[in-house]
A and B are shown apart, each in its own frame.
Chain A
Amino acid sequence: GENVEQHPSTLSVQEGDSAVIKCTYSDSASNYFPWYKQELGKRPQLIIDIRSNVGEKKDQRIAVTLNKTAKHFSLHITETQPEDSAVYFCAASIEYGNKLVFGAGTILRVKS
């Protein structure tokens, strides 16, 4: 079945720097890749997603890139701010069964 690996598990950056989180997936038929942000004690919330017919998508300071050949996708956050501190999860759809498989998460700390 699908396996999603996420790196790094923790990431510390200075305020204003960029942060990059990477995920790899195993099922070449996966076609939907969302990213969720979870603040402490809160529910996961979708911040951006991409489908397999698109290579890159941006939303203000957040962007996601997808490399289908290499089966990896990345989240890029520019000009990081303290409020970006949270746990970020990537996920990938699977071909058979209506499900998403999630990565283990990345703890992002933005130091001011």
Chain B
Amino acid sequence: DAGITQSPRHKVTETGTPVTLRCHQTENHRYMYWYRQDPGHGLRLIHYSYGVKDTDKGEVSDGYSVSRSKTEDFLLTLESATSSQTSVYFCAISEHTGRETQYFGPGTRLLVL
């Protein structure tokens, strides 16, 4: 597996609390992505980054923000978690462009009560 880690791997939180998920890579890849995976929906892009401090929205970005201050770290923040954000969150990286092989992290299972 590519050098991608996610933390935490599991989290239970309450509605209304802020949550930050971290993706860390050791591959020095330029592009990083956050997806959520829900039954029947496949992988849906939340936000992505094409360089340090360069980010853009995906198809399901409402309620989420991201930051990338270093090449190796991409943070996903749920400002005020809701039950609809209960999901499995995957980080992915790709080397040169977003339109090529993406390697996925192990995932974070988030439960919002």
Contacts and interface: CB of A to CB of B under 8 A. Distances in A.
Interface in B10-57: 31, 33, 40-45, 48, 50, 56
A103 B41 CA distance: 8
A75 B51 CA distance: 33
A86 B40 CA distance: 15
Interface residues of A, number: 24
B74 to A, nearest CB: 14
Contacts, number: 56
Contact of B40 (A31, A45, A93, A104): A104
A106 B100 CA distance: 21
Contacts of A73: none
B56 A43 contact: no
A104 B40 CA distance: 6
Interface in A90-112: 93-94, 97-105
A31 B104 contact: no
Interface in A3-50: 6, 31-32, 34, 36, 42-46, 49
Given A32-B100, A45-B104, A102 B31 contact: no
A101 to B, nearest CB: 8
Given A43-B107, A104-B41, A104-B42, A98 B90 contact: no
A44 B43 contact: yes
A98 B31 contact: yes
B104 A44 contact: yes
Residue among A36, A49, A94 having the largest count of chain B Cβ atoms under 10 Å: A36
Interface of A: 1, 6, 31-32, 34, 36, 42-46, 49, 89, 93-94, 97-105
Given A49-B101, A102-B43, A104-B42, 10 more contacts: A34-B102, A43-B105, A44-B90, A44-B104, A46-B103, A98-B31, A100-B102, A101-B45, A102-B42, A103-B42
